[in-house]
């Protein structure tokens, strides 16, 4: 069967793409504005290049005219801390997908522990095994409702026991598998 994308409406296309392009890593992005710490998950997310060290994440709108808080905060402050989720903090990650007003903080509402690791970047989720401290790099212009944002990784947190002498990293990230979540297993 050939699926012709021009004849498929947006929501169906989203479902087809999300169920096919799997597994997708999840960026649990922490940003700040006016002292409010915002945290939200995004799975239209992928690494782009190691030099410059960049990732891309596509962020949508809250409604027709209002960008999601994460996008607004990145556009304003040019900073983001991307955390990774594991099976122990999955429930917290899911809660962070709840739409809240801009003045509300997910980490406060859902009692998620964060820690300020670097002065120049938003805090990281304490239970994450790794986090990427990023500067805004650029935006890719595409028509439609999502804004693909390129972020440059400046620094990374990794738990001490998860990196070996050859710089190999061992993390237990979970990813998006269609409408579900999956843990990565080595084969
Ligand atoms: C696993 C997962 C992945 C998601 N991926 C995206 C995504 O790639 N882009 C997007 O705009 N929203 C995505 N969402 C929805 C946002 O997390 C949700 O809209 C959130 O409320 C945005 O929060 P904010 O307004 O604080 O930025 C995802 C939700 C979940 C649970």
Query: So where are the chain's domains?
Result: 24-161+170-183
Alpha carbon of 108 to ligand 1 centroid (Å) = 18
> What was the pLDDT predicted at 54?
98
> What was the pLDDT predicted at 184?
83
Indicate the average pLDDT of the chain: 97
Block residue for tokens 């296309």 = 13
pLDDT band (50, 70, 90) for residue 100: very high
Residue nearest to atom 9 of ligand 1 (CA): 59
- Please give the Cα distance from 84 to 51 (Å, whole number): 21
Across the range 173-177, mean pLDDT stands at: 96
Across the range 72-85, mean pLDDT stands at: 98
Across the range 76-97, mean pLDDT stands at: 98
- Please give the Cα distance from 86 to 184 (Å, whole number): 10
Cα–Cα–Cα angle for 25, 11, 39, nearest 5°? 40
- Please give the Cα distance from 151 to 41 (Å, whole number): 15
Asked if residues 134 and 55 have their Cβ atoms less than 8 Å apart, the reply is yes
> What was the pLDDT predicted at 104?
98
Alpha carbon of 5 to ligand 1 centroid (Å) = 23
**How far apart, in Å, do the first and last CA atoms of the chain sit?**
30
The ligand 1 site (C-beta within 6 Å) comprises: 26, 38, 40-44, 58-60, 62, 68-70, 94, 97, 99, 176
Q: Which two tokens stand for residue 22?
A: 């799997």
Beta pairing partners, 57? 45, 149
> What was the pLDDT predicted at 186?
83
> What was the pLDDT predicted at 23?
93
Q: Each residue of 131-147: pLDDT tens digit?
A: 999 999 999 999 999 99
Residue nearest to atom 10 of ligand 1 (CA): 59
Using DSSP's 3-state secondary structure scheme, residue 74 falls into helix
Residue nearest to atom 28 of ligand 1 (CA): 42
Best mutation site among 27, 28, 43 for ligand 1 pocket (most ligand atoms within 8 Å of CB): 43
> What was the pLDDT predicted at 16?
97
Alpha carbon of 41 to ligand 1 centroid (Å) = 5
Whole-Å CA distances, 140 to 18, 57, 115, 137: 21, 10, 31, 10
> What was the pLDDT predicted at 51?
98
Threshold 0.95, pTM exceeds = yes
**CATH code, residues 24-161+170-183:** 2.30.110.10
């Amino acid at each position: 069967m050939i699926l012709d994308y021009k004849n498929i409406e947006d929501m169906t296309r989203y479902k087809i793409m999300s169920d096919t392009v799997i597994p997708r890593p999840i960026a649990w992005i922490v940003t700040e504005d006016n002292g409010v710490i915002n945290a939200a998950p995004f799975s239209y997310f992928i690494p782009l290049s190691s030099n410059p060290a960049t990732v891309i994440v596509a962020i949508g709108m809250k409604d027709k005219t209002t960008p999601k808080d994460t996008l607004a905060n990145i556009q304003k402050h040019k900073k983001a801390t991307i955390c990774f989720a594991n099976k122990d903090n999955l429930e917290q990650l899911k809660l962070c997908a709840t739409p809240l007003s801009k003045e509300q903080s997910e980490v406060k509402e859902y009692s998620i522990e964060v820690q300020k690791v670097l002065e120049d970047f938003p805090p990281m989720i304490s239970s994450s095994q790794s986090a990427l401290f990023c500067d805004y790099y650029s935006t890719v212009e595409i028509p439609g409702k999502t804004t693909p944002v390129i972020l440059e990784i400046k620094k990374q947190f990794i738990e001490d026991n998860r990196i070996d002498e050859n710089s190999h990293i061992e993390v237990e990230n979970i990813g998006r598998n269609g409408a579900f979540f999956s843990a990565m297993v080595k084969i």
